Chain A
């Protein structure tokens, strides 16, 4: 697609429910990132994929958070037994290459806003 697409844009969950957030990156992009953005703050890194391999999951806050990218394109972030502190915007970003370079700019989606009641 032309940009990074995320769904749903808005999700309201009751505490304890499981949620799944989807990211459809730009076609052909090797790298895919998930970030969590609390209200009024900057995005915080959650996890990184290079193709289907999850190379860095150091930012996942607990074992209730799980991400996958089985075929190296679409990715899903799953949060089990949601809690109120999980309320945030979840941003997905992709970039064309797997290495760090100036030309390898991250393109972000519009985010999925999760509210846990």
Chain B
């Protein structure tokens, strides 16, 4: 079974609008972490936001927020007020409790294209 599932292969969003990127995960660990990374065409993976499994509040980082629904095992990324520079691939990733160092398992990604 896939540990991280991103069901939206690609989506368009109008500039200045909000967009939600879906991510569901599968783990039997009680302690885990969820991450979102952005990968522009240059190729580098850029860390956006982190949510720990024991965090009661949803994480926020500027225009990024993570809608964490533990019972549903979902960790959706919300980007508010989209900008042209937000056009990129977005990856959801999970670190499970037993993972050495900070080993991450990634989903297949969602490509976002922001239209002017």
- Report A's interface with B, CB cutoff 8 A: 30-31, 33, 35, 40-45, 48, 50, 55-56, 89, 91, 93, 95, 97-102, 104-111, 113
In chain B, residues 76-116, which have Cβ atoms closer than 8 Å to a Cβ of chain A?
91, 93, 95, 97, 99-109
- Residues on B with C-beta less than 8 A from A41 are 108-109
Nearest chain A CB to B75 CB, angstrom units = 13
Asked if B101 and A55 sit within 8 Å, CB to CB, the answer is: yes
**B45 in contact (CB, < 8 A):** yes
- Residues of B close to A50: CB separation below 8 A: 100-101
Assuming the contacts A43-B91, A105-B50, A110-B43, asked whether A56 and B102 have C-beta atoms less than 8 A apart, the reply is: no
In Å, the complex CA distance between A107 and B50 comes to 13
Given contacts A41-B109, A43-B91, A106-B104, 16 further A-B contacts (CB under 8 A): A31-B102, A33-B101, A33-B102, A42-B93, A42-B107, A42-B108, A42-B109, A48-B101, A48-B103, A50-B101, A91-B45, A100-B102, A105-B50, A108-B37, A108-B46, A111-B44
CB of B47 within 8 Å of the partner chain? yes
Nearest residue (CB) in B for A50 is B101
Mind listing 11 A-B residue pairs with CB under 8 Å? A33-B103, A41-B108, A43-B106, A45-B105, A56-B100, A95-B102, A100-B103, A102-B52, A106-B104, A107-B47, A108-B44
